[in-house]
Each structure stands twice: as structure tokens, then as C-alpha cells.
């Protein structure tokens, strides 16, 4: 997914920056505005949710992040090789 978005948006590292934000939005189950309205409670709940992740969840999340990094590297290599589409 990150490879395709990098190719379409022409922003090599955009997904690497957005991935942690998207994962936080998925894990916490709270509206994003809670981090601005009540940051103490929101970050406390996020920390609690992060501590309760299973090994399988952590493996999947880390694999996804590594995938976004690798896709950025591949896109850069393809651009350096002269592939203008990338």
C-alpha cells in the first residue's frame, strides 16, 4: 500500500510519517480531538493500550512500519535509476 501511495503522491517518505499517526488512531479508539481537549487522559489511555498489545499485534505493526521504510527506499532507488513514473 505504501509503495503505491508513494508512487501516486510522489512523496517518498509521506507514509513513513503518517503510519504512526494512523496506528495510534486505530489502537486508541478515541477521537483525535481528545489529544487536544484532554491530553493527560488521552495519552494515559494510549500508553495503557500500547502496553496491552500482544506479541502478534506488535509484530504486525512493526512489519507494516518496516514496509513503509522499504517502500520509500525502493522508490528512491527507482527514481535514481531513471524511472520517471516513480
Residue 86 lies in a domain: no
pLDDT of residue 63: 94
The answer to whether residue 85 is domain-embedded is no
What pLDDT sits at residue 2? 64
Structural domains in the chain (count): 1
User: How high is the mean pLDDT in each 10-residue block of the chain (86 residues)?
Assistant: 67 82 88 90 91 94 91 85 73
Q: Are 81 and 2 spatial neighbours (Cβ–Cβ below 8 Å)?
A: no
Distance between CA atoms of 36 and 60, rounded to whole angstroms?
Answer: 28
Q: What integer pLDDT is reported at residue 1 of this predicted model?
A: 64
Q: What are 54's three cell numbers? A: 500482544
Is residue 68 domain-resident? Answer: yes
Is there a domain that residue 33 lies in? yes
C-alpha cell at 7: 508512487
The predicted pLDDT at position 6 comes to 64
**What's the pLDDT at 76?**
85
Tell me, yes or no, whether 74 lies in a domain.
yes
To which residue does cell 527506499 refer? 73
Q: Is residue 65 part of a domain?
A: yes
Amino acid at each position: 500500500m505504501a509503495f503505491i501511495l508513494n508512487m501516486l503522491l510522489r512523496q517518498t517518505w509521506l507514509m513513513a510519517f503518517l503510519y504512526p499517526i494512523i496506528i495510534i488512531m486505530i489502537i486508541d479508539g478515541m477521537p483525535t480531538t481528545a489529544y487536544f481537549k484532554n491530553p493527560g487522559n488521552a495519552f494515559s489511555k494510549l500508553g495503557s493500550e500500547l502496553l496491552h498489545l500482544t506479541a502478534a499485534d506488535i509484530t504486525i505493526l512493526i512489519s507494516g512500519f518496516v514496509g513503509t521504510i522499504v517502500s520509500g527506499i525502493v522508490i528512491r532507488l527507482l527514481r535514481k535509476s531513471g524511472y520517471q513514473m516513480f
